Structure 1
Amino acid sequence: MMMGNNRGEKVISTVCIPLNRLIMLSGGNMAISKNDAASLAPVNGTSHVEAVYEKVPSRYALQVGKIDVLVISDGVLSLPGPMLGHNAEASERTHWFEDKFLPADFLDWALNVVLVRSGDRTILVDAGMGEAFPDLPRAGRTVNRLASAGIDLASVTDVIITHLHMDHVGGLLIEGVKARMRSDLRIHVAAAEVEFWRDPDFSQVSMPPGFPEALRQTATQFLQAYQTQLHTFEEEYEVAPGVRVVRTGGHTPGHSVVRLASEGERLTFVGDAIFQVGFEHPDWFNGFDHYPEEAAQIRIRLLQELADNRESLIATHLSFPSVCHVAVDGDTFRCIPGPWDY
């Protein structure tokens, strides 16, 4: 459901961590909700804020049984094309880009987060880039887009962090955001993820210069800022009825997916386990994978499971709104986009 499009958008200030110059140098069945974003109204009587109208469609509402879901675009990240499948032959990678009518040098990665309501819990899954990276100026919209949907940050009862990369936690580090969250907020993250960022391993990544340090600083800042709200789990945890967070590992040791199930319908938010090229070439590495071989194995297993179960998925870095099914295509897979409800 498109909401709040073709109008002006609020702008927020930024605190700089420069990356752009470094990047440039580095060469289950679902029913679409009959309700709009107001169906995600939080549980208290002061849950809504005045809408901030936007220029582009950036929210998409759907239902998984009795669970309300709102996909929110945080924007896009322009990143070097070779990061996507950096273990593949350059000619094969270029052919894939050309076949998809995409530029091979720089690729726009979508950046999606999800708001879920189940029972009396309103759950934000990831928080986007935030405002500390002005050299990635097309991302960092989550807080404004929650406001444009009429969602007050104080209504969010839980946050699930799939992993501690800056494009997943940065929105919670915007100045003033923590003060607007409720005092009993619980932030769910795998214990393995917290442990990893005490001494992170970048030995197998293929990132542009500057990114490892920015990721390290952001994760450290987040863990310090929200240490009293953190709720860690080992392998999985039920956050609300029909809402489970499950550790997969691979992309990072504590990378997790969020599995929704209600009234026979299912959907999985796969985080960074699956990205654009991952359907046709699940063995290609994402440059941000800390343990790429393990990540590829997990990706293949997850894609096969979703295909076998005919279960829908949403992914962080698939084109908004990213709702799709998985089909087996010989030895690989195909993404079957869900219909857009106008």
Structure 2
Amino acid sequence: MEQFKLGEFTLTWLKGGVTHLDGGAMFGVVPKPLWSKKYPVNEKNQIELRTDPILIQYGGKNFLIESGIGVNKLDSKQKRNFGVTEESEIEQSLAELGLKTKDIDAVLMTHLHFDHACGLTKWKGDQLVPTFENAVIYTSEIEWEEMRNPNIRSRNTYWKENWEPIQTQVETFQEEKEIVPGLKLIHTGGHSAGHAIVQIKSGDQQLLHMADLMPTHAHRNVLWVLAYDDYPMTSIKQKQIWVEEGIKLNTWFSFYHDAFYRVLQWDEEGNIVNALHRERL
């Protein structure tokens, strides 16, 4: 497991599983000859996408960004369609760090699509129960409302199995929520109406977790947004605000889906100047 320190914050990427989704869908209207130079694609036109939660440790507290793809939460057809080749090993990852699920104080959910939220619940016999039994689960008010009342488009990704068992643990916010000093969820919209990003500040250092506004390093271009985005123009606007300004401030950017980079910095010409790579076996 890779670790990265930002001042007083320690980030560790856990094993959350892996999917393989259509590259065209992941890059929207961008032509394949362009995006395929930035991110490898297989013979099925799929790209490898991790679903690895980030453990944030600060002041004796343990926080997670996202929850992974879960275990036995998808049937065989779904696994085939979403190219799932690994499921979550969150409990094993935590055990390697001397932690258990009960030690997680909060889970910061940027949004509640299945590939981010399946790990919030787990099977105990034939019943679904909360995975992180003591955690407060933070998500935007808009996202929580759509999770419970999805529309004709979003009902395929907002699943009752992922919210019904944990509803008493959920705390919502509107524009932003500071979890502890320097760690904040900020509502952006774009990928979904309730989508949020995570900002970490320590001293003069900043890290931005753009979630699905920038799921991989290949999505740095503000115009390269997903066909999955419900509000693509909002995604573009938010990337202009956060990515372009962040690069000027030497911001670190972290990823949930990237199969190659965990965190990196770009210069203003778009060159990667510092990076932590994912260990590939």
C-alpha spacing 1:262/1:61, structure 2 compared with 1 (3 Å): same
Are 2:114 and 2:162, in contact at CA under 8 Å, matched by a contact in 1? no
Q: CA deviation at 1:123?
A: 0.7
Normalised by the size of structure 2, how large is the TM-score? 0.84
Counterparts of 2:249 and 2:224, CA distance in 1: 24
In structure 2, C-alpha distance between the alignment counterparts of 1:98 and 1:120, rounded to whole Å: 42
Q: 1:109 aligns with which of 34, 46, 49?
A: 49
Residues 255-290 of structure 1: CA distance to partner in whole angstroms, max 9, x if unpaired? 1111111233221222111033322x4213313212
Return the alpha-carbon distance in structure 1 between the equivalents of residues 271 and 32 of structure 2.
Answer: 17
Question: Per residue, is there more strand in 1 or in 2?
Answer: 2
- Per-residue CA deviation, residues 109-164 of structure 1 (Å, 9 max, x unaligned), is 12221111221321111101112125123242333322333321111111111100
**Alpha-carbon separation, structure 1, partners of 2:212 and 2:162:** 19
1:123 aligned onto 2:63: yes
Tell me which of 26, 29, 33 is aligned to 1:84. 26
Q: Is the 8 A contact 2:120 2:132 kept in 1?
A: no
Mark the runs of 5 or more structure 2 residues left unpaired by the alignment. none
1:194-231 deviations in whole A, cap 9, x for unaligned? 1223443465xxxxxxxx54413x2x333221111111
What is aligned with 2:219? Answer: 278
**Residue 338 of structure 1 pairs with residue 275 of structure 2:** yes
1:281-300, aligned counterparts within 5 Å?
281-300=221-240
Q: Is the contact made by 2:213 and 2:225 (CA closer than 8 Å) also made in structure 1?
A: no
Whether 1:163 and 2:111 are equivalent positions in the alignment is: yes
Report matched runs for 1:18-57 at 5 Å: none
User: Which has the greater radius of gyration?
Assistant: 1
Q: Does structure 1 retain, via aligned residues, the 8 Å contact 2:26–2:228?
A: no
Are residues 252 and 102 of structure 1, via their aligned partners in 2, closer, same or farther at CA, if it must alter by over 3 Å? same
Q: CA deviation at 1:188?
A: 0.8
Uncovered stretches (5+) of structure 1, i.e. residues with no partner? 1-58, 204-211
SS in 1 for 2:123: coil
Distance, in Å, in 2 between the alignment partners of 1:287 and 1:168 is 17
Q: How far 1:339 moved relative to its partner?
A: 4.6
Report the secondary structure of 2:62's partner residue. Answer: strand
Superposed CA offset, 1:18-56 (max 9, x none): xxxxxxxxxxxxxxxxxxxxxxxxxxxxxxxxxxxxxxx
Partner of 1:224: 164
Residues 261 and 275 in structure 2, CA contact (< 8 A), matched pair in contact too? no
Distance 2:131 2:172 in 1: 22
Alpha-carbon distance between aligned partners in 1 of 2:148 and 2:130, rounded to the nearest angstrom: 26
Q: Residues 273, 337 of structure 1: CA spacing in aligned structure 2 closer, same or farther, 3 A cutoff?
A: farther
Say if 2:262 and 2:278, in contact at 8 Å, map to a contact too: no
Quote how far apart the aligned CAs of 1:73 are.
Answer: 3.8
Contact 1:119–1:240 (CA under 8 A) maintained in structure 2:
no
Contact 1:201 1:290 in 2 (8 A): no
Paired position in structure 2 for 1:54:
none
Read off the aligned partner of 1:155 and give its amino acid letter.
D
172-181 or 102-111: bigger deviation: 172-181
Counterpart check, 1:70 vs 2:12: yes
1:156 maps to a residue whose letter is I
Q: Report if the CA contact (8 A) 1:306-1:325 is conserved.
A: no
SS for the counterpart of 1:123 is strand
1:324 corresponding residue in structure 2: 264
Where 1:174 maps in the other structure, the secondary structure is strand
Distance apart, 1:71 and its partner CA: 1.9
Partner SS, residue 68 of structure 1? strand
Matched positions, count = 266
Distance change (3 Å), C-alpha of 1:137 and 1:293: same
2:3 is aligned, of 58, 61, 70, to 61
SS in 2 for 1:146: helix
Residue 97 of structure 2 aligns with which residue?
A: 149
- What is aligned with 1:306? 246
CA contact (8 A) 2:70 2:88 kept: yes
Question: Counterparts in 2 of 1:176-215, with a 5 A limit?
Answer: 176=124, 178=129, 181-183=132-134, 185-201=135-151, 213-215=155-157
| CA root-mean-square deviation | 2.5
Classify 1:179/1:222 alpha carbon distance in 2 versus 1 (closer, same or farther; 3 Å). Answer: closer
Q: Contact 2:121/2:166 (CA < 8 Å) preserved in 1?
A: no
| Identity of matched residues, % | 21
Asked if structure 1 preserves the Cα contact closer than 8 Å seen for 2:185 and 2:198, the reply is yes
Cα shift at 1:85: 2.2
